[in-house]
Structure 1
């Protein structure tokens, strides 16, 4: 399965509450992603919460865009990526 880096911009900042409501919201994202075979692996968020960089396993960029729309998430750019491990060379 291809892996992708998805860049997003949140003009008002990304706010996910650290409570049951936040957990429920993230569970909904995961469930909607699964409908298209998309797996959210991990995300990184800028200190101001204005940008996120998310790693996904997905069958295609179109599947990511489709689930992002269902999840009301912006998509600035999708790039297919591969792992480069610095310890591989030792």
Structure 2
């Protein structure tokens, strides 16, 4: 399954709490996408999320349905390791 990095910019600070994302995960599942994890910026107004999805359009559709931003969606081909090796996405 292709991997995508999603950059999100929020109008207000994000304060995550346990159980807050059940509905988001249900919406994602209905669109055929899967949220793997996210990084949150120090000011908590940006996140960078790693998703599995058949294509970027489904990620955008899920974001729209969930009412969350998706400023940029970039497909990734692999991980660049500190050794300089490229580990392909399988």
Q: Which TM bucket (shorter chain)? A: 0.7 to 0.9
Structure 2 portions without partners, runs of 5+: 86-90
1:53 and 2:66 matched: no
* RMSD over aligned Cα atoms: 1.5
Instruction: Report the 3-state secondary structure (helix = DSSP H, G, I; strand = E; otherwise coil) of the residue aligned with 1:83.
Output: strand
* Structure 1 residue ranges (4+ consecutive) displaced by more than 6 angstroms after TM superposition: none
Q: Work out the number of aligned pairs and report it.
A: 84
Higher relative contact order (CA 8 A, sep 6+): 1
Matches within 5 A, 1:1-90: 1-16=1-16, 18=17, 22-23=18-19, 25-81=20-76, 82-86=78-82, 89=85
Q: Which has the higher strand share?
A: 2
Structure 1 portions without partners, runs of 5+: none
**TM norm structure 1:** 0.84
